[in-house]
Structure formats: structure tokens, C-alpha cells
Amino acid sequence: MRESQTAQAPKTKLDDLMMQVSPTTVLEESVKEILVEYADDFVTAIIDKACKMLKNREMKKIEGRDIEFILKNVYNMPVVPRSATHIFGPQSDMIDLSKEKHVPTEAHKQRLALLKKQIKKV
């Protein structure tokens, strides 16, 4: 594959992604070039950090968990737990338990009332 075709592939993928996000929006060539360059630099930096980490562990193969570790701890990017992905499918299908409202049970209310009563005595 020639270099122009290699450079064109990420730009085509950007166009496809843009069509999914907003079909009416078109990216200028300069914007595409900047995004491709930024993504390339980002991936290079991640691979660089992974190689340094592997060198410390005396390993020779980059694994998914290495990349997840770098994304989470260096770039503070959340990653989907692998087991959850295999069990429940992609993250978009997962239930976000943090948004569910906690409804206290009657037993919980009684324990709280007892604690408040004991605190008042002290």
C-alpha cells in the first residue's frame, strides 16, 4: 500500500465516524490531518509507556491489561472491565448502577433512628 493510501485510511474512518455522530457535519482536510496526527502521537506515547513498563517487568509482549493500566493511571481514562464486557456485552448495554436511587429499607430506617436516639443520650 502506498503512503498516500495509508494516510487516507484514517481520514476515511474519521468521515465514517463523523457520519455516525452527526451526518450533516463535514470535517475540513486540515482538521482531519490534525486529528490523525494527534491520534498517532497519542498511540505512540501509549506504546512508548507500555514498552518502558514491560522492560521493567522483563516481559516481551504488550497485553491489553498493560494498555488499560496506562490509560487508567497515566491518562486518568476510565476503562471497561474486561469481565463485564464479556458477560454483559459493550459498555453501552451495561446498567449504570450509580444513577439508580437508593431507597432505604424499613430495617435501615429503624437502625438510623436507634443510632440518633443513642447519640442524643450522650
Predicted pLDDT at 1 = 46
Residue pLDDT, tens place only, 89-105: 555 544 555 555 667 78
Split at pLDDT 50, 70, 90, the class of 21 is confident
Residue 87's H or E segment, with its range, is helix 82-88
| Cα separations in angstroms, 34 against 2, 78, 95 | 21, 24, 35
Can you tell me the distance from the alpha carbon of 52 to that of 49, in angstroms, rounded to the nearest whole number?
Answer: 5
Cβ neighbours of 46 (radius 10 Å): 17
Residue with cell 475540513: 28
Residue pLDDT, tens place only, 51-90: 999 888 888 888 888 888 899 999 988 877 665 555 555 5
C-alpha cell at 41: 502521537
Query: pTM score, two decimals?
Result: 0.56
Question: Structurally, what CATH architecture does the domain formed by 3-97 represent?
Answer: Orthogonal Bundle (1.10)
C-alpha cell at 3: 503512503
